[in-house]
Chains A and B, each alone.
Chain A
Amino acid sequence: MQIQREITTASVLLGATVGVFGATFGLFAVTGGLSVSKAVAMSLLVFTGASQFAAVGVVASGGSPFAAIGSALLLASRNGVYGLAMSRTLRGRLPLRLLAAQLVIDESTAMATAQADPDAQTQAFWMTGGAVFVFWNLGTLVGALGGGLLGDPSVYGLDAAFPASFLALLGPHLAKVGGKAAAVLGAGIAVVFTPFLPAGLPILCAALAALVGLSTRV
């Protein structure tokens, strides 16, 4: 009961924060030349914040559709690794897994993998994925229609809400055998590769840090 309440609160909080960025995206998309319906469709169908900002940004700055899709998909590639990390939790029938796939993003993966038992992991995945989906899409609609009521989210420090929440979710992973090594190595790889690789790929490279698992004797 206690854990369920905590998961619900955390999911709604993360979702609401994402919603503010959704409004920013909606405004950005319309300013960048997309119609309201395209902005809304993109949030529903692509549902990967960073990729959407990248695609619209490239188009708005005069880039080709191929460049827009390419850079957006580079950012989306890390979701493949998240899917891999979630694949042993999200079992069950194929249709359900195909639906779950759309919700495989930073927030849902981080929240789910931080839980101790499989039931809580599944619940956290659906709660966080669902909350982020609802708020992100509502935010996009509001932003595309009404513009920036709140203004720049960074004024409220909301950009720091993401690393803060991921930090709160890191704890359980550090307790695992090899967890600290994988975390330090993963963060290090991501930072070192940031200046040299397009955004999105450094996190993909950080997945290699999980190979420290090869040397753990459990």
Chain B
Amino acid sequence: MRSLLNRTTRWLYARIRSSIVTRTTLAIVALSLILGLSFASFVATSVENREQKRGELVLQQLLSTIERTAQIACYLKDRTLAAEIAQGLMRNRAVSGVSILSGGASLAEVGNTTLTAKSRINNSVIARPIFSPFDGSEKVGELSLFVDRAAIHAEAASDSRASTLAMGIQAALVAVGVAIAVYLFSTRPMKGISTELHRMRIESGARLRVPATNRYDEIGTLVTDVNALIASLEGLLTTERELRIAHEIGERKLRLIVEKAETGLFVMDERGVLESWNPAFVRLLQLTPEQLPQSGITPLQQLLGPHSTRLSQLLSQCLNTGQPYDLDLDMAPAGSPRPMWIEVTLNPIGPTALQGVVNDITDRKQTELSAQELASQDTLTGLLNRRGLDARLGAMFLAPLPDSVSQLALLQIDLDRFKEVNDGHGHESGDRVLRHVARILERNVRRGDLIARPGGDEFVIVLAGISDRSKAEEIASAIIAEIERPIDIGGHHVLIGASVGIAFAAREGDSPEGLARRADFAMYAAKRAGRGRVCLAPEPEPAQTDAVA
């Protein structure tokens, strides 16, 4: 029983939640019930009050009606007449007893004419003095009507019940009528539309049907509006699909371009981890199948080997400034005769993403290098000029192996009596002498050593990998000896000499400038000592390097 009630409640709750029809009907019925009941109770009370008053009024009127006869009966003490009156009054259901007194004696007494304390609650007495019909001042008797209030009450209650019932039936009928009307005119078409809309598939081209009876009302408007919405939605969907297709085509084209591009393209995050790249990228970085990066895992630094530090610097530069930066990298594998240069350009496209471009710049780089070489060469002798010497010497100092620095020896060579040749035989002769000396120097050093003519009649030789200091002296002496031999300048022979100062690079804290200065110093010492000789510069005290300079 209880579970049945629970089930019913749950079913009803579900219906109320899911069905407008049920909800509306229940709401109308509940409202009618509440209104009907409260109104009925009000009506019941008022009807009962009215009926009770009316009952009493009826009794009063009844008394007035029989008054004249009662007057006569009392006047004449006519018991028959009095009894007749009493019987007549008793016909009224509300009258429980009648007593007619005249001159202290009872003329008539019908029904219950005693009032006990208990019956007094429900009963009351309407007593009327009866005056002589011929003399209004002479009281001839008294008529007492014992009223049964319960009867009046019951009658009133029954009247009230009847009208309440009528009202209840009316309320119920109205509720049913309203519920049917709401169902027919509102909820049923709404439910139909709702079901139809629920089953409808957008893009099927289907539209809601406007219920014939609702064509011109709010439901009709709603359906029309919903249809318009569906139409515009379909339009939007079509447009979007077209856009998507166009976008896909565009993307495919772009991908094709990227795939086929000669330029390496890639995207990476702020740490350098690669996200995507094209085949050209792989080709330009000369990656073997084992080296192929994994998206989201492999950092670009790992692929660049020795250049990883420079790439990291470039990365932070890019991210700090938000500007694009580029970097030229020598990608020629060690020992490879073919040079290979790439340019990596990083372009920040957000705080955590960068887009990169890799280009093969080997050709450009070679052109650049030969131009640089040109700029670093002495056009007269083909040796390095001062700029070339500085650059190459600087590079030697920057070389990653400090041991080779300590093995550097710099020979500062100054020609003696060259000014006389130049002044006596002209510049062309001087140039010829300088070219002659250059060949001598070239003959006396190994490949990899530097030979330069920084200017005028001074020459510099940088010997790399000198393990024995006397070897440098030997080379210097051999050079001096060769230079002192007569030089043919086209029919004439001239004699010049050379003074050489040698400095060795210190193991620590040395610089190209310090080395050159010490060699220069030693060379002057040789000149002062009488020319044509070699002077060694003293080893610099590490702390005094600058002071000596």
Instruction: Verify that A and B bind, or say they do not.
Output: no
Binding site for A on B (CB under 8 A): none
Q: Which A residues have a C-beta under 8 Å from some C-beta of B?
A: none
